A and B are shown apart, each in its own frame.
Chain A
């Protein structure tokens, strides 16, 4: 149809062909699997073989072909054969063909020797992988290796092309058995979107058309599949990300940030955040030479201008302000070593991620992975073509997303400082800690937003006092009233927290300090979550209570001193602890052999010798209202 259009209406033909999209795929398999024949067949069938190539092919087929003088399509792509004889490194080759529906870029990777480095390189830009197996042999070690590398590089959509069906008499049961075997294996390594297509690249069966030999097959032919597949994960949705490549400053009035969007979309008016700095602004214009755009999507190269004069340089990432990438300087990663010189743990290298290059050192691998068996083995280093899981330590923090989420935000290369060669490629799993020099830049849903949703002012009500003073009783009553009032609360009780979060801590001075530090941090998080937090801890030292106060904002920390004289508390002794302590069965007991430092200036003091617990709870409630932490009664 489009052939006719080509001859009769070239303008219409060109219009149609300009609308085609692009699919990049990688072919994996060795020469024995018929990979070259398959690619040759695709080039041939898409009519991209030029006159001189065809003439040469006809001649070559007669001389060195393996098809008895018939066209040997493998020779089309085995131009590398000559180079192989000359001992030049076999490498990834990129080939191009186009059909009426799509343009294709094929990463053609030889299946032997340098396979890991080459396959990983080819897979890094592929949306789909076509893995070949020989129908006579079924799944082989190399099939597993290829599949593992494909999944490592984040390709989720895989075609298993069961080739040489002609050699097994087009037997449906052969294809079915391989299909079942492969699906079981593939799901185990995270390849979920698997399509199995029986073909004969040599005879052309099921490449373009199914043909009579495979009449039992009712799925798409290989080319139909490639023309229509929407690869999983290739879609670049998610929040907007744009590593800044270049700052355009033609005159003092214009300052544009040029880069390629690697995720999401952007429109004028969108709030963006600059990482790792953290400043925010609004997108003013999306500038291109063809005029301003109303929206730009992942994959486009654009220039953005911002509403505010903020500091943005090459290497920064512009991101959706509400969902910015994390910023960190320590990561767990997968590393693929690609150099003859082995990795040296601790040596300073360079790391390039996005448009940013920083110093890095690599820790001794946690383990390396046997690509044939997927077994983990211990390793001190990584050699050429080895894959390992390693922690990295960067000398500056970088914005990132895990590789699994976004290849461009989570993939990096390691560069030698001395020779400038690329030593390795890597994929970020996760950050080991958040960088110290980076504020926890809260997102759009911040503390105030959460508090507003809960209709309350989050705070910590910190009860301190001796054991048996009545802290927990009062805190409990207070929480019940707040809860009945519709407040969102949480009660952190000393005994309960020591059963979980702090069960590793004893009662030494150091452990008591740590005990309070952890509780203070947890309280802070809960306040951030919008809660009214009631803390019931002896918390005997002023310094730690001051530390807890300092973690929070002005007015968020309400200290309640539950003032009960030691003799009163000891006479109550609800848990029998004072008796034990007096007998010497408990050491470091507050009030007995460990000091209690009463608050000097608490927000609230309740005297339990003159107040019942209910009155004490009322008193706290009243003060919270006075301090406008709670709305006044009836209000």
Chain B
């Protein structure tokens, strides 16, 4: 932590933190009805932590919105309810009523229909229903090439479409938060953070994260080379498929049937970071490449949300 009498230049994490807090304040100040999208994952945890800091000693002047699919890990629901209660922040949970009625699930409807209807359509419904005009999201520019040029303040049409040509130039720390009737803005306070920054900050600030990020013995089945955790009895097992206990963890979190686990001994945060860093370097030395589907799920999550 920064010493209270420190006059040295800020470290990179301090600069990122200060920038994100300024972004959150600026958006909240100019929005009519802001909301923070909360996906229960590590990026959401960091974003919520920053929002708590931004308005301290007051609570954030906006609610959290969890666009739920009913297919998240049980531990995510427990964590979500516990953390929001502890922090005393308002949580809105939205489940697409159409999906509830039709029983949309990844097994019978496929992952893309499942994701589109629960998450993409669900998000639009929730924003329209509550009249939210500014929504914070936890996306980062380092996640994939196409996001490298995304704005911090990204304008959406009344139908929530992203129009490349309509995006505004962003200079200095000056953000144009004005919008015409019906338009809304997605705000990404973590734009300039990398995955490593997020983990380092979680470690430094001791931010609670869902225990699924840490390795533990969990019941899994292997499908198409991907380890899927059998989180509840809604998961149909193939003939002859028997869940086995393996020490696994998750790099990203989503709907449990669509989220691949990796085998790991990293049962502490620091070990997770170590494993992440070493994996990258050792893979460059030509190890067998592990195409874990977690990475692709992270992308799906982004496509779905944003």
Contact = CB atoms under 8 A, between A and B. Distances in A.
Interface of A: 3, 6-7, 10-11, 13-14, 17-22, 47-52, 54-55, 77, 79-80, 83, 88-89, 91-96, 98, 102-103, 105, 108, 117, 120-121, 124-125, 235, 245-246, 248-250, 254, 256, 258-260, 262, 265, 287-295, 297, 299-301, 303, 314, 338, 350, 352-355, 357, 407-408, 411-413, 415, 419-422, 425
Interface in B1-55: 1, 4-7, 9-19, 21-22, 25-26, 28-29, 52-55
A83 B165 CA distance: 13
Interface residues of B, number: 75
Contacts of A49: 280, 284
A10 B58 CA distance: 36
Given A254-B57, A258-B55, A301-B54, A412 B174 contact: yes
Contacts of B159: none
A103 B277 CA distance: 15
B180 to A, nearest CB: 5
Given A10-B273, A246-B28, A248-B55, 8 more contacts: A6-B277, A11-B270, A18-B204, A54-B283, A94-B192, A300-B10, A301-B54, A350-B178
Contact of B174 (A14, A294, A338, A411): A411
B109 interface: no
Interface string B143-157: 001101100000000
B85 interface: no
Contacts of B178: 350, 357, 415, 420
B70 interface: no
Given A54-B284, A98-B194, A91 B149 contact: yes
Interface stretch (B125-133, B208-216, B252-260, B287-295): B287-295
Contact of A105 (B173, B183, B192): B192
B12 A20 contact: yes
B274 interface: yes
B280 A96 contact: no
The secondary structure that dominates the A interface is: mixed
Contacts of A21: 9-12, 15
B271 interface: yes
B164 interface: yes
B231 interface: no
Interface string B171-191: 111101011100100000001
Given A21-B10, A248-B58, A289-B52, A51 B283 contact: yes
Given A6-B274, A121-B169, A102 B280 contact: no
A246 B200 CA distance: 28
A350 B177 CA distance: 12
25 contacts: A6-B277, A20-B12, A21-B11, A22-B12, A48-B280, A88-B164, A91-B149, A91-B167, A93-B148, A94-B191, A105-B192, A108-B148, A245-B25, A258-B54, A259-B22, A259-B25, A287-B56, A288-B56, A297-B10, A300-B18, A357-B178, A408-B172, A415-B178, A420-B183, A422-B176
B166 interface: yes
A515 to B, nearest CB: 47
B170 interface: yes
Contacts of B173: 125, 260, 262, 408
A235 B171 CA distance: 19
B82 interface: no
Contacts of B18: 260, 299-301
Given A10-B270, A288-B53, A47 B13 contact: no
Interface in B258-300: 270-271, 273-274, 277-281, 283-284, 289-291, 295
B7 to A, nearest CB: 6
A125 B171 CA distance: 7
Contacts of A96: 141-142, 192, 194
A248 B4 contact: no
A89 B167 CA distance: 10
Given A10-B270, A88-B164, A246-B28, A50 B280 contact: yes
A611 B174 CA distance: 71
Nearest to B28: A246
A93 B149 contact: yes
Nearest to A420: B178
B53 A425 contact: no
B170 A94 contact: no
A89 B283 CA distance: 35
A295 B12 CA distance: 19
B145 A245 contact: no
A204 to B, nearest CB: 15
Nearest to B171: A124
B196 interface: yes
Given A55-B289, A105-B192, A408-B173, A290 B11 contact: no
A250 B284 contact: no
A301 B149 contact: no
A499 B45 CA distance: 73
